[in-house]
């Protein structure tokens, strides 16, 4: 039962889908972090259903892709996109560590954030449009789970950059917390064959690169960095599949 409550808390944190109320004593965010990748099963399935449903109704691949992204944004409350915009503004425009963190805390969006959102969302839309009917349920679940596994990996590996916020509240997660997500991601990758393994590798490289930038600029991670890792690795995964499956 505790595991179920932890999954529900992860869903509450990473989506806006109704999960009811948790009974006391409620699990902590750090204890529940292992379930973050599992949220990708739900979001990936939702995006797949909207994409393929729109195609079945006769929509073009572009319209279907945009509808799938709109469904994802609704389901997650655009949480990760908000993190991407703040992270891009802070890491891109900050003079030093303190200035980066101040910018990331500011709710206003700047030029770096706008450009990052346009490019990443555009990349996702283009990739989904290219994939069309090839975006199977397994593929979408793979990308959803793996992108959140990358987010969890950064949370585990990097220290919190500030004393408050999601990055701090969810810190202290043991390395073993990544194991359930690793099992699911590797299973999906294996079932998808070479393209699945290659997409996983590309997502991992993108996440490592972003984590390295965050460590150099702000000496750790924040909730905004975690959101950026998720949405960028998701875009990279979809792009990798669109290239590999069209080859």
pLDDT 10s digits, 156-175:
999 998 876 565 555 668 88
Spatial separation of the C-alpha atoms in residues 239 and 245, rounded to whole Å: 10
Q: How many CB atoms lie within 10 A of CB 44?
A: 26
Q: Quote the pLDDT of residue 2.
A: 82
Query: Which ranges of the chain have pLDDT less than 70?
Result: 1, 164-172, 247
Contact 212, 204 (CB under 8 A): no
Q: What is the DSSP letter of 107?
A: -
Average pLDDT value over all residues in the chain: 92
Q: Quote the pLDDT of residue 112.
A: 95
Domain count, the chain: 1
Q: Residues 176, 225, 122, 209: what is their CA dihedral angle, to the nearest 10 degrees?
A: -70
Q: Quote the pLDDT of residue 61.
A: 97
Contact 128, 234 (CB under 8 A): no
Q: Quote the pLDDT of residue 153.
A: 96
Spatial separation of the C-alpha atoms in residues 217 and 187, rounded to whole Å: 35
Q: Quote the pLDDT of residue 170.
A: 58
Q: 27 lies in which domain range?
A: 2-246
Taking only the tens place, the pLDDT of each residue in 83-126 is 999 999 999 988 899 999 999 998 889 999 999 999 999 999 99
Q: Quote the pLDDT of residue 5.
A: 80
Q: Quote the pLDDT of residue 169.
A: 59
Spatial separation of the C-alpha atoms in residues 52 and 65, rounded to whole Å: 9
Angle at the Cα of 229 (from 17 to 189), degrees rounded to 5? 80
Spatial separation of the C-alpha atoms in residues 161 and 43, rounded to whole Å: 28
């Amino acid at each position: 039962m505790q595991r179920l409550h932890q999954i529900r808390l992860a869903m509450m944190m990473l989506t806006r889908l109704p999960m009811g109320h948790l009974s006391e004593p409620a699990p902590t965010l750090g204890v529940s972090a292992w379930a973050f990748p599992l949220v990708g099963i739900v979001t990936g399935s939702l995006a797949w259903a909207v994409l393929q449903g729109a195609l079945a109704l006769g929509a073009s691949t572009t319209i279907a892709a945009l509808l799938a992204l709109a469904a994802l944004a609704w389901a997650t409350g655009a949480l990760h996109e908000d993190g991407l915009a703040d992270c891009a503004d802070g890491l891109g425009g900050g003079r030093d560590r303190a200035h980066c963190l101040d910018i990331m805390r500011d709710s206003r969006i700047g030029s770096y954030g706008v450009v990052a959102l346009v490019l990443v969302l555009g990349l996702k839309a283009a990739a989904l449009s290219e994939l069309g009917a090839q975006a199977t349920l397994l593929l979408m679940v793979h990308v959803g789970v793996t992108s959140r596994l990358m987010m969890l990996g950064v949370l585990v590996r990097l220290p919190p950059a500030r004393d408050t916020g999601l990055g701090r509240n969810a810190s202290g997660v043991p390395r073993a917390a990544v194991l359930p997500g690793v099992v699911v991601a590797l299973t999906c990758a294996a079932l998808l064959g070479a393209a699945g393994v290659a997409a996983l590798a590309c997502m991992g490289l993108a996440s490592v690169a972003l984590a390295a930038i965050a460590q150099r600029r702000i000496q750790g991670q924040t909730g905004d960095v975690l959101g950026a890792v998720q949405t960028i690795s998701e875009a990279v995964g979809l792009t990798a599949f669109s290239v590999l499956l069209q080859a």
